[in-house]
Amino acid sequence: MPIDRIDSWAQFGLPGLVIAALFMFIWFLVKEHKAERQEWIAAYREQSALMDDRQRETNGVIRELVSVVRESNARMR
């Protein structure tokens, strides 16, 4: 007996309809939460990509700074 058919649960009276409504509500919550988790995953991936780009840029700047400091030290010697 499928849960989404309210008339099937009507044979059990008001308690059956309430139980069916609760099952449908829980099913709806689970479905919405799954969609929300997919959004979280997409946002996490996007944020991770941005952080990776920023880290690469920072690493490049640090490398340039190291080379400038080395050149400066070489000139002073």
Q: 25-35, pLDDT tens digit by residue? A: 998 999 999 98
d(CA 71, CA 65): 10
d(CA 58, CA 61): 5
| pLDDT given for residue 60 in this prediction | 97
- What are 50-73's pLDDT values in tens digits? 999 999 999 999 999 999 999 998
d(CA 50, CA 33): 25
Q: How confident is the model at residue 48 (pLDDT cuts 50, 70, 90)?
A: very high
**Residue 12 confidence (pLDDT) above 80:** no
| pLDDT given for residue 6 in this prediction | 63
